[in-house]
Amino acid sequence: MKQKRTFPWARVTKKQEVTLKKGHPWVYEDEITEQSESIENGSLIDVFSEKGSYLGTGFYSACSRIRIRILDHNANETFNDAFFERRVRYAVQYRYDVMPEDVSSCRLIHGEADGLCGLTVDKYEDLLVSEVLSYGMEQKKEIIYRALTEVLAEKGVAVRGIFERNEEALRRKEGLELYKGWADIGKPIPDSPVVIITENSIQYEVDVENGQKTGFFLDQKYNRRAIWPIANGRTVLDCCTHTGSFALNAAKAGAVHVTAADISEFALKQAEQNAVRNQLDGVMDFVCADVFDLLEELRTKPHTYDFIILDPPAFTKSRKTFASARAGYRRLNASAMRLLKRGDYLATASCSHFMPNQEFRNMLKDAAMDAGVSIRIIEERHAAKDHPVLISVPETEYLKLYLLQIV
């Protein structure tokens, strides 16, 4: 027997009804036709079709264009603490199921793909880093944190601390403040925000307080390992190296020499430290430069590199800037292709979901035309298994990496 609903309610258009039935969890403000009065920001709200059919329950965001984020489609769900604890348990167990040998550092919660909209949690050994982008999830985060520490304790991991990286401007659209700092989980604050992790047999120093995003880019884990066969015996240029992850993998794989380039002096210093830590500094050098300027400068020099890696930050975070972002990707890839000879290799990535995979492939075709070369695809890769894709939510499929050869 259905429980009596006590939540506020909203009715949505036929178009939005179809979208929700297909599994996409967002309800935009202009798709709401009628709703309860005085709905509190962050509260749970029931969503109905124009004819009154129940479609789901989610968090209400009074300030955001994404007005409702659906959590579940079960009309009998209570949405109590146990509900969120179950979601956390499912998320953690998924990682232990699909990558049991590789959970020392991984993404534990991947937002909508784990049924916890607007929440990201990464694990670096015994430190967790969270980012909350939804007003409703902000109200539930203490439940989430408690559940995480309990579930991981069952797995033999004593969580030392949870660092919150709530600095994304999107929070302002939710009516949330921007800040970063240690969450109160009833434990002493860790002495340092720095932790040493091991990935692909390479050690990295991760600064969860000052590093980009949550401190490290875990999504490229297996893509970095995938370059090993190509990097062996080659001279490699890693553009946008950040803290050296692709560069270090190339050096570990047996590259003759690796140049790690990045515009951030802070990130580059970390990359150098990581190279020394792994005793790979003997085959590496580090260049602080804008990648566009560097690639143009290299055109005036003798042929040096036979494998170039492009892993830039997202060029676009909205559909409005797609055209300029595509032009940027095209220019970057064409510049790299011009430096390579027939038989040389290119690894190129995009981490923006506003650059769909097919558009990225089309861009690569255009870049090859600009450079006057032909390319063939060796392999198409995506994010690691701890960053799952919800097939009904295209936004969860954001990372793509192509291994290419100039032919």
Residue 97 identity (one-letter amino acid): D
User: Domain for residue 32, yes or no?
Assistant: yes
The tokens for 64 are 């955001």
- Of the candidates 297, 290, 371, the one whose C-alpha atom is nearest the C-alpha of residue 330 is 371
Residues 185 and 262 in one domain: no
End-to-end, the C-alpha distance of the chain in Å comes to 66
| pLDDT for the residue 88 | 98
Instruction: Please tell me whether residue 127 adopts helix, strand or coil conformation.
Output: strand
Q: How confident is the model at residue 276 (pLDDT cuts 50, 70, 90)?
A: very high
User: Domain for residue 127, yes or no?
Assistant: yes
Mean pLDDT, the chain, rounded, equals 95
User: Domain for residue 2, yes or no?
Assistant: no
The answer, yes or no, to whether residue 5 has pLDDT greater than 70, is no
* 315-365 tens-digit pLDDT: 766 677 788 889 999 999 999 999 999 999 999 999 988 889 999 999 999
Residues 46 and 134 in one domain: no
DSSP structural state of residue 183: -
The DSSP secondary structure of 188-253, one letter per residue, reads PPPS-SEEEEEETTEEEEEETTTSSTTSS-GGGHHHHHHTHHHHTTSEEEEET-TTTHHHHHHHHT
When pLDDT is averaged across residues 53-63 and rounded to a whole number, the result is: 97
Domain boundary among 141, 164, 195: 195
% of the chain residues with pLDDT over 70: 98
Residue 275 identity (one-letter amino acid): A
Cβ–Cβ under 8 Å, residues 33 and 42: no
From edge to edge, which strands make up the β-sheet containing 44-48? Answer: 26-28, 66-72, 54-60, 44-48, 9-12, 32-35
Q: What is the CATH number of the domain that holds 249?
A: 3.40.50.150
User: Domain for residue 212, yes or no?
Assistant: no
Q: Which domain holds residue 380?
A: 217-406
Residues 241 and 348 in one domain: yes
| pLDDT for the residue 313 | 85
When pLDDT is averaged across residues 266-293 and rounded to a whole number, the result is: 96
Residues 60 and 146 in one domain: no
Residues 339 and 283 in one domain: yes
Residues 137 and 261 in one domain: no
Residue 171 identity (one-letter amino acid): R
When pLDDT is averaged across residues 79-90 and rounded to a whole number, the result is: 97
Q: What is the CATH number of the domain that holds 138?
A: 3.30.750.80
| pLDDT for the residue 318 | 67
Model-level pTM?
0.93
* 182-239 tens-digit pLDDT: 999 999 999 999 999 999 999 999 999 998 889 999 999 999 999 999 999 999 999 9
Residues 315 and 191 in one domain: no
Q: What are φ and ψ of residue 354, in 5° steps?
A: -80, -5
Residues 381 and 236 in one domain: yes
CA distance 63 to 83: 25
Cβ–Cβ under 8 Å, residues 275 and 285: no
Residues 270 and 340 in one domain: yes
* 124-142 tens-digit pLDDT: 999 999 999 999 999 999 9
How many other C-beta atoms can be found within 10 angstroms of the C-beta atom of residue 272? 17
* 18-48 tens-digit pLDDT: 999 999 999 999 999 999 999 999 999 999 9
Q: What is the CATH number of the domain that holds 67?
A: 2.30.130.10
Task: Enumerate the β-bridge partners of residue 107.
Answer: 122
Residues 165 and 106 in one domain: yes
| pLDDT for the residue 213 | 87
Instruction: Please tell me whether residue 178 adopts helix, strand or coil conformation.
Output: coil
User: Domain for residue 114, yes or no?
Assistant: yes
| pLDDT for the residue 407 | 96
The answer, yes or no, to whether residue 396 has pLDDT greater than 50, is yes
| pLDDT for the residue 1 | 37
When pLDDT is averaged across residues 74-92 and rounded to a whole number, the result is: 96
| pLDDT for the residue 4 | 58
| pLDDT for the residue 378 | 98
Cβ–Cβ under 8 Å, residues 296 and 335: yes
User: Domain for residue 389, yes or no?
Assistant: yes
The answer, yes or no, to whether residue 303 has pLDDT greater than 90, is no
% of the chain residues with pLDDT over 90: 91
Residues 380 and 233 in one domain: yes
Q: What's the maximum distance between 2 C-alpha atoms anywhere in the chain? A: 76
Domain tally, the chain: 3
Residues 67 and 96 in one domain: no
Q: What angle do CA 47, 52, 56 make, to 5 degrees?
A: 25
